[in-house]
Amino acid sequence: MIRRLPNPLMFLAMALSFAMIAPRDSAAQTLEMETGSPVLLTVSTLVPERVVLQEELPGRVAALQRVEIRPQVGGLILDRLVNEGARVEAGDVLFRINPAPLQADLATAEAALARAVAAEAFSRRSVERSDALLGKNAVSREKNDTAHNELVLAAANSAEARALVDRRRLDLEFATLSAPISGYVTGGLVDIGGLAAPGADKPLAVIQELDRVYVDLRLPVARLDAILIAAEEGLGPVDILTDRDQTYLQPGQLKFPDVVVDPGTGNVSVRVEVANPDLALLPGMFVRARLPRGLLPDALLVPEDAILRNGAGVTQIVVVSAQAEAMRREVTLGDTIGGRVVVTSGLKAGEVIAILGQDRVPDGMKVKVASDSADAAL
């Protein structure tokens, strides 16, 4: 009797058939067999949180007030009573212009006023005499009208001379330049002996109020309503971020935005007012601002490290069931807040998710829980 050896192709077919009917979680079982125990996962229980959504925008610091000191009269500068960078109060004297030419102009105007007043007085007496003579028919009506006309002209000359005196007195006052606001002196200062000229291109000095400053921002007009509503609802202050992402200690307050939309960019200007007691924010500095733009009263947040992505780039979170089985679930993500990400769909409050070690487990694998926290940030 001849015994036939088994066909090698038969063995291959049998092996393939066994592979096709193997359990779906064979990879998980294989991993368990290799390690000798379920994979250890660190997990966290999802708890709803109140989250304020924020909009981060680039901005630039500007002085709350900026005033250029410009002369209204010309002359040589005799005194400069302030240095660059000094703080001044409203009313402090900054410069004194040589008053001698202005005093001479005032004296000339006062002399002209005296002549005009004397001429007016003479014309008034002439009118009184002419009126008396006219009553006696001792003077013609024409001469009487001439006397009255001369009085009117003399009164006008007196008024003009009086106005000129007032103007010269103002010019003399303008020879002393004082600070109109409190603030810090910036810009190149004109030295003693320099010429002050009205209408010059360069101001004598610049005063900027820096105890409070503006941060000018630009944002798309489509996002303006959400920010304004958040400000009205008092969802929180505006945070100013300096270099190295450091949050400035003083919170900002949103001011009314510009009502004009830039037709080229579709952006609108927004200002944030910020206290600046230590002068850490200077005009021209570039900063960033975080503005509240909405509220999620029951948001679910997961650590960034808990997020996985499959080969197609779909975001997933590993959920651990009550039977200690790990299952990958597709999720939709929202804003990132302090190293955590808002999950807008795919998870429910109370579910347990893996936050460490989840990249080593396939679907359906039995796992061992290392710890369970009520805060998804852990």
Question: Which pLDDT score is estimated for 311?
Answer: 86
292 & 214 share domain: yes
Q: Does any domain span residue 162?
A: yes
164 and 182 belong to one structural domain: no
Q: Does residue 325 lie within any of the structural domains?
A: yes
214 and 273 fall within a common domain: yes
Q: Which range, 2-16, 58-72, 179-193, 239-253, is most confident?
A: 58-72
- 291 with 313, same domain: the answer is no
Structural domain contains residue 269: yes
Average of pLDDT values for 173-196? Answer: 92
Instruction: Please check whether residues 181 and 88 belong to one and the same domain.
Output: yes
Find the mean pLDDT for residues 145-172. Answer: 96
Q: Residue 153: which region, alpha, beta or left (left: phi > 0; alpha: psi -120 to 50)? A: alpha
- Structural domain range at position 350: 28-51+298-373
Q: Is the pTM of this model over 0.85?
A: no
Residue at 21 is within a domain:
no
251 and 355 housed in the same domain:
no
Position 259 pLDDT exceeds 80: no
Q: Label residue 29 by pLDDT band (50, 70, 90).
A: very low
- What pLDDT shows up at residue 243? 78
Separation of alpha carbons 352 and 128, rounded Å? 110
Contact by Cβ (8 Å): 355, 318: no
- In a domain, residue 6? The reply is no
**188 lies in the same domain as 83:** yes
For 88-118, the pLDDT digits (tens) are 999 999 999 999 999 999 999 999 999 999 9
Do 230 and 295 contact (CB within 8 A), yes or no?
yes
Residues 232 and 308 in one domain: no
Whether residue 36 has pLDDT greater than 80 = no
Instruction: Residue 32: give its domain's CATH number.
Output: 2.40.420.20
**The residue to which tokens 């929202």 are assigned:** 334
Please compute the mean of the pLDDT values over residues 10-31 and round it to a whole number: 44
Q: What mean pLDDT is predicted for residues 241-255?
A: 85
How many CB atoms are closer than 10 A to CB 170? 13
Tell whether 185 and 170 lie within a shared domain: no
* Residue 137 lies inside a defined structural domain of this protein: yes
* Same domain as 84, residue 197: yes
Q: pLDDT for 190-238, tens place per residue?
A: 889 999 999 999 999 999 999 999 999 998 888 888 998 888 888 888 9
Q: Are the beta carbons of 180 and 67 closer than 8 angstroms?
A: yes
Shared-domain flag, residues 92 and 121 = no
Q: Quick one: pLDDT at residue 318?
A: 94
39-58 confidence digits (pLDDT tens): 889 999 999 999 999 889 99
Number of domains in the chain: 4
Claim to verify: residue 158 and residue 103 sit in the same structural domain = yes
Say how many C-beta atoms besides its own lie within 10 A of residue 146's C-beta. 14
Q: Which two tokens stand for residue 61?
A: 């610091």
Say what the pLDDT of residue 263 is: 85
